[in-house]
Chains A and B, each alone.
Chain A
């Protein structure tokens, strides 16, 4: 009898482990994907965004650095879902803290409850270990752009310190995108590391990068994460308005309403 109950107990445990979710069986914390990890989320969210009829106001929730703050992510989602007329959420990098698949999944599980589409931009923490492969698999290209409501959004990788010699940011790609062949009325660029610290941004690319932005007509904003504080200023004495997001730790986000090229900004705590 004891054998039987023992076997039964173990069988039950094994079956339970299977049933609760096969996610339980992990091959390595560093694996790039598993059988239930999502793919192409940015493209899917773009398709969702396109179903939404754009009016004369584009309303953006601007946030960044979700890394490791899961309880805050749940409160963030509730707050964003309670707001009317939000078009999209921009998440300016550091989705994960350790560049691990599980973290990306934990974050997406929470943010997938958002009523509006969200767009992920790669951060430096997302490039540790296999983060880049995970990001590419789960969200898509590291540099991408789309036009919505007359605004061209140019999302790109500025985490140059993570991969020296790989031309990050990709200035050729960025220059091409900034030419705005779609003839959008306005442009917003968004990336993780802001060009404030030459050592972090890459001393060679800092000046050409800021020059590119400076020479772009109709550039409304250059949005960034990374610094874990909200800043809104023009540090280079040009007309380019750089703005950084709150991190999730700070339980607040920036709401941007864009009407006819005017940026109306408010800070929303949650």
Chain B
């Protein structure tokens, strides 16, 4: 488990570091975000980097669910998004109708195993309760700020996601489960530096 977290962190920071080393800039993230819901925390804070002229972005997020919202839960998630379409609306606004992405979330705690405990026969449970894989979309609107400002842009976004276990349930049920039952939403604000 630790190895995965470490390698995920290395992957994100390492790749970003390499990209920044070339351009000779600092290792500060390109953006930070605050997110409500989206299956990776009641509230979550994250930061990440953008690549290829902002077509690809990746981030890590820590999320928390308080006891009165169905927890107490701590989650760490990583995401990669691709932005196929950008609509410029004047000099200051940009609309991103549908970014597509992939998220992996790790649920901390003893109730969620990553490797099947040895007391079980092999393959007794085939999935890993600690790790969820999500497919996601994001729609956002961005307000660009002045070029020399410390904050480059502010975006508001609406995200939809489903995860591996919901998808398995959906696909194996011949239309009984509805899309609205397996797709979950989140809202967030992203600040670009």
Contact pattern, B 175-188, Cβ under 8 Å of A = 1, otherwise 0: 11100111111110
| Interface residue ranges, B against A (CB under 8 Å) | 36-42, 63, 65, 69-71, 73, 75, 87, 89-90, 93, 95, 97, 105, 107, 111-112, 119-121, 125, 127, 129, 132, 139-141, 156, 158, 163, 165-166, 168-169, 172-177, 180-187
| Interface residue ranges, A against B (CB under 8 Å) | 2-3, 6-7, 9-10, 13-14, 17, 20-21, 24-34, 68-71, 73-74, 97-103, 106, 125, 128-130, 161, 164, 199
3 smallest beta-carbon distances between A and B, as pairs: A31-B70, A26-B184, A71-B176
List A contacts of B38 (CB < 8 A): 25-26
List B contacts of A20 (CB < 8 A): 180
A70 to B182, CA, bound (A): 13
A13 to B129, CA, bound (A): 31
Residue from the list A27, A101, A103, A129 in contact with B111, Cβ < 8 A = A129
> Considering residues A2, A20, A30, A128, which has the most beta carbons from chain B within 10 angstroms of its beta carbon?
A30
List B contacts of A161 (CB < 8 A): 119-120
Given contacts A20-B180, A29-B132, contact A103 B39 (CB under 8 A): no
List A contacts of B165 (CB < 8 A): 29, 97-98, 100
Can you list 11 residue pairs at the A/B interface with Cβ under 8 Å?
A3-B93, A25-B38, A28-B40, A28-B73, A28-B75, A31-B65, A32-B70, A33-B70, A68-B172, A68-B173, A98-B129
CB distance from A164 to the nearest CB of B (A): 6
List A contacts of B93 (CB < 8 A): 3, 6
Q: Which residue of A lies closest to B181 (CB)?
A: A106
A103 to B163, CA, bound (A): 13
CB distance from A223 to the nearest CB of B (A): 23
CB distance from B110 to the nearest CB of A (A): 11
CB distance from B71 to the nearest CB of A (A): 6
A268 to B182, CA, bound (A): 31
A55 to B147, CA, bound (A): 81
* Contact of B65 with A27 in the complex, beta carbons under 8 Å: yes
CB distance from A193 to the nearest CB of B (A): 12
